[in-house]
Amino acid sequence: MAKLAKRVQKAQELFAGKTSLTVEDAVALVKKAASAKFDETLEIAMNLGVDPRHADQMVRGVVQLPNGTGKTVRVAVFARGAKADEAKAAGADIVGAEDLLETIQGGKIEFDRCIATPDLMPLVGRLGKILGPRNLMPNPKVGTVTMDVKAAVEAAKGGEVQFKVEKAGVIHAGIGKISFADDKLAENVRAFVDAVTRAKPAGAKGTYVKKVSLSSTMGPGIALDLASTAQ
C-alpha cells in the first residue's frame, strides 16, 4: 500500500497545475507518470453534452484505431455451416450456435466481442439479459450482426474499439498501451475523438464535446485542449 501511495503521490505532483494540454504533451505526461509493473493502458474519457435516456441523444459506434489497442481480443461468433468455417478461418476463438448458447447460459463467457450472422439473432436474442449488461450483445449499428463474418472478426482482432455513452454522458475506452510510441498514441487519441464527434446524435443540443481527458490504468487524469484533438 505504501508503494501504491508513493506512485499516486508522484503522479499527482507531475500533474499539479497542468490542464488543457495538447494531445502530445498529455500523452508524454501520462506516460511519464505511469509506474505500474505491467504495461498500462492509455484510457480516454469524453464528457458529452447528451442525455442518453433519450433515444435521439444516444451515442454509440465503432472506430478502427490506426495503431491498434495492444490488447488481445477474444472473439465469439454465432454462425452455422460455411459462415462458421469462415469465422474459424478468420481467427475467431469460439464459433457455434445452440452449443455456444448453452455455454453462455451456463455462465462461461470467455470472449471480449460477440458477432452473429443475422439468421441467428433470434437465438442470440435469448441471451440479452446476459450479454446486454456486459456490452457484448451483437448489434448491426457497430457491425457485429453481419454476413461478412470474416471482416468483422478481422476488425475486432485488428484494433477496432466500440464505444457507447454511459448514463452520465461519459464515454470511456482503452486506446493503446503506454509502451506505444508517443506519436502512435496521439494518432489513436485523435482517431477516437473524431469517431465520437462524427457520431453526434440528432438530439444533441448546445456543446457536444465538453471535456476530453487521458489517464493510464493506474494514474490520474489530465484534461486536453479540445482544439488539439482535431485531426
Q: Is the pLDDT of residue 132 over 90?
A: yes
State whether 57 and 108 are in the same domain: no
Boundary residue ending a domain (108, 134, 156): 156
State whether 58 and 41 are in the same domain: yes
State whether 141 and 80 are in the same domain: yes
Confidence band for 5, pLDDT divided at 50, 70 and 90: low
175-198 burial: b if 16+ Cβ within 10 Å, else e: bbbbebeeebbbbbbbbbbebbbe
**Can you say whether residue 155 is alpha, beta or left, with left for phi > 0 and alpha for psi between -120 and 50 degrees?**
alpha
Element (H, E) at 159: none
State whether 30 and 56 are in the same domain: yes
Q: Is the pLDDT of residue 16 over 70?
A: no
Boundary residue ending a domain (100, 125, 156): 156
Tell me the average pLDDT across 134-140: 94
Outline where 39-181 has alpha helix (H).
81-90, 98-105, 121-124, 128-131, 149-157
* 224 backbone dihedrals φ, ψ, rounded to 5°: -100, 155
Boundary residue ending a domain (108, 125, 156): 156
**pLDDT at residue number 231:** 75
When divided into structural domains, the chain yields a total of: 2
Confidence band for 6, pLDDT divided at 50, 70 and 90: low
User: Any idea what the CATH number is for the domain that residue 148 is in?
Assistant: 3.40.50.790
Q: Over pLDDT 90: what percentage of the chain?
A: 84
Residue 117's domain spans which residues?
75-156
Q: Is the pLDDT of residue 203 over 60?
A: yes
Within-domain flag for 8: no
Q: What's the pLDDT tens digit per position in 78-101?
A: 999 999 999 999 999 999 999 999
Q: Is the pLDDT of residue 13 over 70?
A: no
**pLDDT at residue number 109:** 97
Q: Is the pLDDT of residue 1 over 60?
A: no
**pLDDT at residue number 120:** 98
Contact 33, 10 (CB under 8 A): yes
Q: What's the pLDDT tens digit per position in 18-36?
A: 678 999 999 999 999 888 8
156-160 long-range contacts, Cβ below 8 Å, gap at least 24? 156/73, 156/75, 156/113, 156/115, 157/73, 157/75, 157/91, 158/64, 158/68, 159/64, 159/65, 159/66, 159/67, 159/68, 159/69, 160/62, 160/63, 160/64, 160/65
Average pLDDT of the chain is 92
Largest CA distance in the chain: 59
pTM: 0.85
User: Any idea what the CATH number is for the domain that residue 24 is in?
Assistant: 3.30.190.20
Within-domain flag for 218: yes
Q: What's the pLDDT tens digit per position in 207-220?
A: 999 999 999 998 88
Within-domain flag for 7: no
**pLDDT at residue number 174:** 96
